[in-house]
Amino acid sequence: MSQSAPPPYPPQPQGGQALPGCVRHPDRATGLRCVRCDRPACPECLREASVGYQCVDCVNEGAQSIRQPVTVGGGRVGQRPLVVPVLIVLNVAAFVVTAMQAGSIARNDASPLYRAWSMVPDVVASDGEWWRLLTNGFLHFGPIHLLLNMLALYILGRELEPVLGGARFLSVYLVSLLGGSVAALLFQDPNDQLAGASGAVFGLMGGLVVVVRRLRMPLGPLGTLIAMNLVISFVVPFISWSAHLGGLAVGAAATAALVYAPERNRTAWQAGALGALAALLLLIALTWSVL
């Protein structure tokens, strides 16, 4: 859109009285002033406003005071995904490290990092290595496992992150990962070795369903995709159905807490709900390990 130029410099006043210098360029004498702050400003520093011309500083200050439109989840409208590519890079980096340590792409589970970060329910409960509840979600067994999960993360994340915003999206991702790990802790064989971002990815599926229903849109292919993945979770061997179901349920619950939070004090409500959900999951895991 073209912008009309500010009025030219006025003629020098009679009587030898010097014009003031521009507030941003003191060496430039000017007879023009900002209609908002009344400070002298040269034509380069003025912008056309609804009434008269305003200086650059007042224009910027006015833009900051305008309330930015947000989505149902509290994210800024038009915000591009930033967390999704970072998560993909972290997962790929972890795979590269395990493959280099093991000297094999296909059997990277022989890596010391893989053994230290993977999810083994009995080790978590007996030895108190609780970090495995989260670190296992950044490990993958072989390149195909990594590729499938990262592709799902990219497809789902690019739809969900703009709705929730970066911080909220990351919170849903991590609490879904935690939910899937706690479910595996409860229902998997104590000696199983589990790894993968599947619990978190299923959490994104559950979250996207909640957002679609919140916007009163039809599920369409999304419902079919989730149904197919649930069937695969029970049919294909060596897949942790418990982690998938746990991540799906927790992701849906976490996203519901975000998109249905009251507008007044929304951020406080959302933070409190996510914190309470994470605390509940940890309490369940601790109680189970004691019993």
CATH number of the domain encompassing residue 211: 1.20.1540.10
- Here the tokens at position 133 are 């509840």
One domain, residues 138 and 264: yes
Kindly name the residue from 118, 171, 242, 244 that is annotated as catalytic. 244
Average pLDDT, the chain: 87
Return the higher-pLDDT residue of 70 and 245: 245
Tell whether the model's pLDDT for residue 7 goes beyond 60: no
| pLDDT at site 104 | 94
**110-161 pLDDT tens trace:** 999 999 999 999 999 888 899 999 999 999 999 999 999 999 999 999 999 9
Same domain, 202 and 275: yes
pLDDT of residue 45: 87
Sign of the dihedral through C-alpha 157, 158, 163, 169: positive
In a domain, 233, yes or no: yes
Task: Indicate the pTM of the whole model.
Answer: 0.77
- The verdict on whether 198 is a catalytic residue reads yes
| Domain identity same for 21 and 113 | no
Instruction: Tell whether 59 and 87 lie within a shared domain.
Output: no
Give the pLDDT confidence score for residue 1 in this predicted structure. Answer: 44
Q: Round to whole Å and give the CA distance between 9 and 165.
A: 46
Q: Are the beta carbons of 188 and 242 closer than 8 angstroms?
A: yes
**Taking Cα atoms as reference points, which of 141, 132, 133 lies closest to residue 98?**
141
Active-site residue (options: 111, 118, 171, 198) = 198
Instruction: Taking residues 47-74, report their average pLDDT.
Output: 75
Residue 111 included in any domain: yes
pLDDT in tens, 226-236: 888 888 888 88
pLDDT digits (tens, 9 = 90+) for 85-117: 999 999 999 999 999 999 999 999 999 999 999
Q: Is residue 149 part of a domain?
A: yes
The answer to whether residues 61 and 167 belong to one domain is: no
Q: Are residues 179 and 207 in the same domain?
A: yes
Q: Domain check: are 116 and 47 in the same one?
A: no
Domain range for 202 is 83-290
- State yes or no: is 244 an active-site residue: yes
Residues 56 and 103 in one domain: no
Are 203 and 267 in contact, with CB atoms under 8 Å apart?
Answer: no
Q: Residue 180 domain-assigned?
A: yes
Cα gap 278→171, rounded to integer Å: 10
Decide if 9 is inside a domain: no
Are 59 and 20 in the same domain? yes
Model confidence over 264-291: pLDDT tens digits?
A: 888 899 999 999 999 999 999 999 887 7
Q: Give pLDDT, residue 170.
A: 96
Tally of structural domains, the chain? 2
pLDDT digits (tens, 9 = 90+) for 150-205: 999 999 999 999 999 999 999 999 999 999 999 999 999 999 999 999 999 999 99
Do residues 183 and 251 both lie within one domain? yes
Same domain for 142 and 280, yes or no, is yes
**Distance (Å, whole) CA 37 – CA 70:** 30
Q: Measure the CA–CA gap between 134 and 119, rounded to whole angstroms.
A: 9
Q: Is the domain of 276 the same as that of 147?
A: yes
